Structure 1
C-alpha cells in the first residue's frame, strides 16, 4: 500500500509562475544556467543552482553555494514571489509537448515507503551527487524539485483527475521550449480524503526519474529524525515532494549513443564483426527503430539497420533483453571496447528529443559511429524494479520534464 499525502504548497504568485518555473538542476551545467537566467531574476535556478550568483570559479559543492540557495529561497518567499496555501492540498500538473499531454498528481511520498521498497528503484546512485542534494535540501529545509513517480493506473484516481481538470486552473503558461504548463489546486476536503484512500490500493510506486533526489530526501529525513528524538512520523520531513503519474500517461523516449572511434578497427573489420552478431542491412534513409531488438547505426555517412540474431540475449531476463543491454553486451563492450559506459570518455549519450540529425552530426564531426535505439518502455522499468534488478546506465529519457519551483514543500 502506497502513501501519498497532501501538503501546504508554497507556490509562485500567478503573475510570476512562468518566470520562476525552471528546468531541473541536473539537465544543465553552471555556465548554461548562468546564460539561462541572465535576463530573469525570478528563475528558480537561483535556488537550485545557486552558484550562478557567486564567483564563476567557486566549487558548486562549496558550503557557500548551499547558504546562497537558502538565502535566495528565503528572499523569494519574503518578497512575496510565493504564497503558501492555508491547508494541505493536492495539485494536478499537466504538461503538453508537441500535442502530447502528460498529467500527474503532485503530493508527498513517504520516506518509509522508499526504505521498505514500496517505492521501487531501478537505478544506482552516485555518492557525490547524493551529498550535493542532501546539503541543498537540508540547508533550504525544503524539497524544491519533485520526484517523478509512476504507478500502474488506477481508474478511480484517473477519473477524479480527469473531472478536476475541467475546472479553472491556477497556472496556465507556455515555457520557452514551447511546452504548455497547467496547474490545478485540489482543495476540496472530501476529494483529498478520497485520493488518500484510493492510493492505499496502489501496491507500488516506481521512480521514473529522480533517483538521486529521492535518495537524498530520504537521508535528510533520517537525519532530521535523529535530531528530533521524539518524532512521531507525522512531521513533514518524513515525506518528500513528488509527482505521481499513471503509467498510461508516460512516454519513455529513446536514449541514443555515439562513439569516438572504432577501437582500432577498419570500417570493413568493424562491419564484419558486427555482422557476426546482428543482421546488417544498408538503409537509404535514417533508421529510427520501430520494434525491440533492432537498432540504427550511422557510420561514414551511411545508415544501417541492425537486427539482433537469435541466442545473443536471454528473453526471460528483464535486464538482458533490454536493447541497451543487447547493444552494450554484444557490440559496445566486445567490439568497441566500452567496458563501463558510465566512466568511458569515448561514448556520449544523446536524448531522443535531439533527433537523428544530431547522431549524424556527431558521427560526422567529433565522433565516429552513432546508434539509434528503440525506447525502453514503462513496463520494462516496472518489471526490472519488481525483480530487484538495476537498469543499465542511460536507459531512459523522459520528456517533458516537470519544472522546478512551481511547488515547494517546506519541512
Structure 2
C-alpha cells in the first residue's frame, strides 16, 4: 500500500520559472555554470553554488550553510513562494525529440522505502548517501524529485488528462528545447481519489534517484530517532518524487568503451571471445544489435556482431538475463580484467541516445581500444530484478525523462 500524499510546494513565480529551473549541478561544465550565473541572476545554480558570489570555491558543511542562506534570500526576494494548501502537481515534459512524459509530483513515504514498497534496482554508495543526507539536513529542502514509476492506472490517467485541459500554472521551454508544463490539483475530492488509487498499489519502483531516495531515508531515520513525539506526519517522513506510469518511461542503454585489451593481442582477444560468442566480422558497416544477448563490437577499425552461445551460459536469475550483466560476466571481468565497473578508469560509458558512430570515433581516436553496444533493457527486466532483491550493474540504464531542479521544492 503506497502512501503518496500532496504537499505544499515552494515554487518560482510564473514570470521567471524558466530562468530559475536548472539541470542537476554536476551535468554542467564549469564554463557552462559560470556563463549561466554571469548572465542569469535567477538561476537555481546561484543557490547550489553559493561560493560564486564571493569568487570562492566552498565545500562541505560550510557550502551547505551558504546554500541555505542563498535559498532563504530567494524566498525573501519573492523568487520562491510556498503554496498555502497541500497539492498534487501534474507535470508534463515534451523533449526536443517529441517524447512526452506525464505524471504527478507528490510526497512519497520513507517507510515505504524501508518496507520495500518502493523498490530499488541499483546499488548505492554509502559515502554518497551520508553526504547528501547531511546536505538535506543542513539546507532543509530538496529541489529535484526522485523519478518513480507505477503500473498504468486508468483513474489516475483520466485525472491527469482532465487536469491538463485547464490552464497550466507553468509553461516554459529550456535551452535544450524541452518544454515543461505544471498544473496544480488542490481539490480535496480529487486528492482523495489519487491518494486512494496509489494506496491500492503494492509496489512502485525507483527509476532514477536511488541515492536521493536512500539519503532521504537516512534523514528520516535520524529525525525519527531523536524526536520523542514522532507521529509519522512530520515532513521528514516524506521525500519529493515525480511519479509516471510505466508506459511513459523510456529506457536507453549505456554502451561501453574500454581503453586496452588487458595485455592481449587482437587475435588472442578474439579467440577468448569465441568461448561465449559466435563472432562475425562486419567490416566497415556499422552494426547495432536488435535483440537481447546480441552485442556490437568495434575493434581495430572494424565492426563485429557477437551472438551469445547460450549453451555456455546459465541463466539463474533475472539479473543473469540483463545484457549489461552478461557483458560483465563474459567479457569485461574474465577477459579484460575489469572488476569494479564504478571506479575502474579503464572503462567509460556512452548513453545509447548516441549512435554507434560515437563508439567508432572514440576508438579511432586511440583513446579507447574497443567498444561494445547493446540493446536497452526494459521496464519488466528492471522490475523483475528489483522484485528478486538484486541490483543492476552501474550504468545499466539511461532513463528518461531527465528532470529539472527547482520547479517544485519540498521543505523538511
In the superposition, the TM-score normalised over structure 1's length comes to: 0.95
4+ runs deviating over 3 angstroms: 25-38, 48-58, 312-316
Give matches, 1:151-230, under 5 Å.
151-230=150-229
Distance 1:302 1:246, change over 3 A: same
Could you tell me which runs of 5 or more consecutive residues in structure 2 were left unpaired when the two chains were aligned: none
In the superposition, the TM-score normalised over structure 2's length comes to: 0.94
Give matches, 1:327-338, under 5 Å.
327-338=327-338
Give RMSD over aligned pairs.
Answer: 1.8
CA deviation after TM superposition for structure 1 residue 244, in Å: 0.8
Q: Is the 8 A contact 2:61 2:135 kept in 1?
A: no
Determine whether 1:400 maps to 2:401.
yes
Deviates more, 1:45-54 or 1:397-406: 45-54
Q: Is the 8 A contact 1:3 1:200 kept in 2?
A: yes
Q: Hey, what does 1:88 align to over in structure 2?
A: 86
Q: Is the 8 A contact 2:299 2:371 kept in 1?
A: yes
Q: Residues of 1 paired with 2:25 and 2:202: CA distance?
A: 30
Q: Residues of 2 paired with 1:297 and 1:272: CA distance?
A: 14
Q: Residues of 1 paired with 2:36 and 2:292: CA distance?
A: 37
Distance 1:227 1:53, change over 3 A: farther
Q: Residues of 1 paired with 2:334 and 2:364: CA distance?
A: 24
Q: SS of the residue aligned with 1:242?
A: strand
Q: Residues of 2 paired with 1:137 and 1:30: CA distance?
A: 24
Q: Residues of 1 paired with 2:287 and 2:33: CA distance?
A: 34
Q: Is the 8 A contact 1:30 1:49 kept in 2?
A: no
Q: Residues of 2 paired with 1:14 and 1:168: CA distance?
A: 12
CA deviation after TM superposition for structure 1 residue 273, in Å: 1.9
Q: Residues of 1 paired with 2:250 and 2:54: CA distance?
A: 38
Give matches, 1:347-366, under 5 Å.
347-365=347-365, 366=367
Distance 1:110 1:26, change over 3 A: farther
Q: SS of the residue aligned with 2:39?
A: coil
Q: Is the 8 A contact 1:33 1:52 kept in 2?
A: no
**Which of 54, 72, 75 matches 2:73?**
75
Distance 1:339 1:20, change over 3 A: same
Q: SS of the residue aligned with 1:193?
A: helix
Residues 358-388 of structure 1, C-alpha deviations (whole Å, 9 max, x = no match) = 2222212211111112111111111111111
- Number of aligned positions between the proteins: 409
Q: Is the 8 A contact 2:168 2:183 kept in 1?
A: yes
Q: Is the 8 A contact 1:125 1:211 kept in 2?
A: yes
CA deviation after TM superposition for structure 1 residue 46, in Å: 2.6
Q: SS of the residue aligned with 1:354?
A: coil
Q: Residues of 2 paired with 1:183 and 1:313: CA distance?
A: 48
Give matches, 1:254-293, under 5 Å.
254-283=253-282, 284-293=284-293
Q: Hey, what does 2:378 align to over in structure 1?
A: 377
CA deviation after TM superposition for structure 1 residue 215, in Å: 0.9
CA deviation after TM superposition for structure 1 residue 90, in Å: 0.5
Q: Is the 8 A contact 1:145 1:241 kept in 2?
A: yes
Q: Is the 8 A contact 1:19 1:43 kept in 2?
A: yes
Q: Residues of 2 paired with 1:93 and 1:203: CA distance?
A: 23
Residues 255-282 of structure 1, C-alpha deviations (whole Å, 9 max, x = no match) = 1110001111122222222223112223
CA deviation after TM superposition for structure 1 residue 48, in Å: 3.5
